[in-house]
Structure 1
Amino acid sequence: MHGIREILQIACSWLTFDVVWKVSIIVLLLLNLKNVPFVYHLRILNGVRFLLRSQRPPIAVQPEHLFQPLITSSKVCLMEIDVFGHKSNSTYFADIDVARVHLVTTLFGKGIEQIRGGTTMNGLSGKPRSKFTLALGAVSCTFKQELLPYETYDMWTRIISWDEKWVYIVTHFVKRSSKISPRISSLYPDQSAQDSCTEEPHAGDATKDTSTSNVPVRSPVAASALSKVVFKDGRITIRPREMIEASGLLPKQEFSHAGSTGKFDARVETEVEERRQRGLRLSALLSGQVELEEEFNGKVALGRHYDGIGAEGVMATLAQLTKLSKFQLV
């Protein structure tokens, strides 16, 4: 008993308010590391590093990789939870940004290097600053299922189509609990063996019911997002096909040994064009949203509300609750 009393006394002397406060802050940060300030920027930089030749996949990208998805994983943090107890809809878009950067730098690393004149960051190579950038034009997301606190999910991101200006990219949020994994990892063959070890029988079929019951299998997709991006070199728009060809994702004309005329792989070109046209029909959702700007009318409004954040918003809300003010504006 005397030893236990001494241990309790030591623990009480150590667990001061200052210590408890600091430990609580550290635990809170660790549980929400994804939402700590500037971590979003680090996540983006982690995807940008695949522009470096040393970080590129061991296998060079080929035309067959053009429409294949790249998988990035994440987990729902506490600060992403909304009032209903699941991942807030607004937090999906930050994850989409990260997944999109990983896909673009992986597929178009070679083409971006040609346009920028190298892979060195601006200001470090001694060359004129590159004006290359990737601009997001629009994004739309459809929600199917909830993602619960600290649930792990995969983002399957791939190119779906392109036109004369925009590249259309789709991202599927797939619940990790569905145990969906690719049978083959075409750019990272060593990952194929790892996925096959964790994959259950028939897990590659996302829509087929593998049980003996007649109950249909629930879709593993929690949400689907469609984005459109454009490649820019300053004010100059880089046509998607030019970037795709520069990256080795479209077949080029092959010349014979005589050097006269060559043979173009028409079969691959036809397959790519068919998939592009099919995806372009699905991408009409975003291309039609440009007309929404014409629906804006700044002449009449219902009024103005504060969202309750900041000193001014808090004071306005308290004044309303205590009936000290009739107006939202204090």
Structure 2
Amino acid sequence: MADAVVARHRVAVLALDGAYPFELGIPARLLGAAQDRYEVQLCSVDGGPVRTNAGFTVTPDHGPDLLETADTVIVAPVEPTHLTRELPEPVAAALARIRPDARVASICTGGFTLAAAGLLDGRPATTHWECAPLFRSWYPHIQVDDGVLFVDDGDLLTSAGAAAGVDLCLHLIRSDHGAEIANRAARRCVVPPFREGGQAQYIDRPLSDDPASSTAATRQWALEHLAENFTLPQLAEHAHMSLRTFARRFQAETGLPPRRWLTKQRLDRARHLLESTDLTVEQIAVEVGFATATSLRQHLNAELGISPLGYRRTFQSEHTSPAAR
């Protein structure tokens, strides 16, 4: 008997005037890398061309009728100068055509469009950190978190600025089809499968110009000594700071608490060794500073939903020549 044909998940990307071309292409690029699981199509509110903010026009293949059949609708962002508190009638009419059971998502300022349509009322959401104050003032009834890369509230998802759309799309793949397929899609697009720290690490904060007040040198030292069992107080001592000052400045500079940052660096090193060497899981755990192989397994599974051996099978098998390793 022939294998059953699995229908692809239909995704409609809604493009509005003033769109950012980069974000406009993220869904097709990322979801399209998920082993033919998705059919991604672009539409506009009237089926006509859409002016981007980059000096050229794109012409979608579809009009708003596409929204009636899509399983997921992704609203692409527009330049902030194009934002309006109330939706233009054609945009409101197009959004009204979305199926009641469809999943709806936005990238960056696309969350403003969902908010103006009333779709985010009483719901948690995020947007680009620079636009968050305006978002809060226009829509005070929406719970805005500007420190994360995306918010998943079930049938409604919103993401932060620009490349956070990549994180959102990988999250959709991971939720729909599991970590292995999401990791493969990330590898094909040469992006990290999962980013730690949220957009808090990218917010423009005034920091001292004095190198002595930075944790950069200590972070570099830690990377060079990952196999060692050092403590947080030892890191603070290395930076010549009190523990409290060190932790505060560390998070301001990296967007992560020191221990979480350190775990991420150890996992990144472990993943590299799994991909590029034949060391055992036990040897890799020692090499990167985890106390035991069990600890490495637990941390890798928590981050990527996959075991070390599963990760090695996924990524080593893709390399066809030593030069690719």
TM-score bracket relative to the smaller structure: under 0.3
Higher relative contact order (CA 8 A, sep 6+): 1
Q: Which has the higher strand share?
A: 1
With the length of structure 1 as denominator, give the TM-score of the two structures.
Answer: 0.23
With the length of structure 2 as denominator, give the TM-score of the two structures.
Answer: 0.24
Q: Which has the higher helix share?
A: 2
Return the index of the structure with the highest Cα Rg. Answer: 1
